[in-house]
Amino acid sequence: MLRDLDQTAQRVRVFRRGELLASGYSPTGLTRAVRRGAVLRPRGGAYLHPETAQDVVDAVRVGGRLACVSELARLGVYVRDSGVLHVHLSHGASRLRDLPRAARRHWRPLHRCPHPADASVEVFDALIQAIGCQDPADAVATIDSALHLRLLRADELDELFRHVDARKRHLRGLVDGRSEAGTETLVRLMLRAFRVTVDLQVVFVGVGRVDLVVDDWLVIECDSRAHHSEWEAQRRDRRRDQALAARGYCVYRPIAEDILYRPESVVAALRGLLGRPRRRPTR
């Protein structure tokens, strides 16, 4: 029965007992539904859909809302690390002892007031929090990802950066929502040190779209295991590389693991490739 109530991927609602009784549950039926897991009851008087993510359940259990990188990761936005639970709490919160694991607590007032029944903060506030909690490059990648997923509009950027720490407002000039993955943004930011021209999401007739083109001769494709683990996908990529090579382009494919955890190896590869002049091919 709870499955039929208002619930979307972006909005997770906390239902109240009276609301569920009005929807058709009897007091006994609601108790039984909780016992068999058809309804979740993280705390007294608060109920959740049975398929609610555990991070949301944990946040509601302490009387808070899922926030910052935890909420963004739930929505599919790039964040570096969502292993620590981020919860927004009111100053009157009294159930902090119920936090199930290490958590980062956010207390500052929100700029977008969520609906009283919402179990998470608005994306706008989650992004402000994530800018403060992450390194600059990851913060830019997070904003790029939110723009790409259309969870943030380009005309909201100026307002967003008015609310972040003054020391990070310069990141506004680095944002580019054309990146389709956080790793693409991270490589784009690495390339700034080389003073090169970088084009994003370039389409080649007969080949398709590529992630980045540097100085109109170097194509960079940021590969992840999720999208390139099958041989069929690898064969398709190698044929694309071959077609680009026939036109005079060099292709470099750093893997996501190196971009994220061994960035110095990617920078070294870029330095080796970009350290000598090249003849630009004709597109």
Tens of pLDDT, residues 198-234: 999 999 999 999 999 999 999 999 987 655 557 687 8
Domain check: are 86 and 148 in the same one? yes
Domain check: are 166 and 222 in the same one? no
Q: CB of 62 within 8 A of CB of 94? A: no
Is 283 within the bounds of a domain? no
**CA nearest neighbour of 119 among 172, 176, 187, 53:** 53
* E strand or H helix at 42: strand 40-43
Can you list the positions of beta strands (E) in the chain?
15-16, 40-43, 46-48, 65-66, 85-88, 103-106, 198-204, 208-214, 218-220, 250-252
Q: 78: exposed, middle or buried (C-beta count within 10 Å: 0-12, 13-18, 19+)?
A: buried
Is 154 within the bounds of a domain? yes
Domain check: are 191 and 207 in the same one? yes
Q: CB of 77 within 8 A of CB of 149? A: yes
Is 282 within the bounds of a domain? no
- Give the percent of the chain with pLDDT over 90: 81
The pLDDT value given to residue 102: 76
Is 281 within the bounds of a domain? no
Domain check: are 160 and 134 in the same one? yes
Cα separation, 211 vs 203, whole angstroms: 9
Domain check: are 154 and 246 in the same one? no
Tell me the whole-structure pTM to 2 decimals: 0.89
Provide the token pair at 248.
């005079």
Q: Given 107, 142, 174, which residue is the final one in a domain? A: 174
- Give the percent of the chain with pLDDT over 70: 88
Q: Which residues contact 76 (CB under 8 A, 6 or more apart)?
A: 149
Cα separation, 117 vs 256, whole angstroms: 37
Q: Which residue in this structure is represented by tokens 């590969």?
A: 223
Domain residues for the domain of 115 are: 58-174
Provide the token pair at 12.
């997770």
**Residues 251-270: what's their mean pLDDT?**
96
Domain check: are 220 and 242 in the same one? yes
Is 280 within the bounds of a domain? no
Q: 3-class SS at 260? A: helix
**CA nearest neighbour of 198 among 184, 212, 181:** 212
Domain check: are 46 and 112 in the same one? no
Cα separation, 16 vs 9, whole angstroms: 20
- Residue 2 scores a pLDDT above 70: no
What is the rounded average pLDDT for all residues in the chain? Answer: 90
Tens of pLDDT, residues 145-185: 999 999 999 999 999 999 999 999 999 999 999 999 999 99
Residue 81 confidence class, pLDDT cut points 50, 70, 90:
confident
Is 101 within the bounds of a domain? yes
Domain check: are 136 and 83 in the same one? yes
Cα separation, 200 vs 214, whole angstroms: 9
Domain check: are 47 and 104 in the same one? no
Domain check: are 74 and 32 in the same one? no
Q: 3-class SS at 156? A: helix
- Overall number of domains in the chain: 3
Q: CB of 111 within 8 A of CB of 124? A: yes
